[in-house]
Amino acid sequence: MKMKKLIPALAMLLVSAILLGTSTYAWFSMNTTVTANSIQITAKSNARYLLINNTGTAASGADSLTLTTDATVYPASYEHAGLTLHEGETNELVVPANGWYTANNRNSNNATNSVFNESSVVEGDANYMATDTMYLTLSADSEAWANYVQVVVAKSSGDAAAKTVLKVTNNGTTSYIDAGVGGTFYIDCTTDNLTSARCITVVAYTYIDGDSTNVYSDFTGAPGSLTGVFGYTFNLTETNS
Q: In the chain, where are the structural domains located?
A: 50-71+130-237
Q: How far apart are CA 170 and CA 136, in angstroms?
A: 10
pLDDT in tens, 131-187: 999 999 999 988 999 999 999 999 999 889 999 999 999 999 999 999 999 999 999
d(CA 42, CA 158): 51
Q: What is the pTM of this model?
A: 0.79
Give the pLDDT confidence of 47-99 residue by residue, as tens digits.
Answer: 689 999 999 999 999 999 998 888 889 899 999 999 999 899 898 999 999 99
* Alpha-carbon span 55 to 19, nearest angstrom: 72
Q: Could you tell me the fold of the domain covering 50-71+130-237?
A: Jelly Rolls (2.60.120)
Residues 6+ apart with CB under 8 A from 76: 100, 101, 102, 121, 128, 129, 207, 208, 209, 210
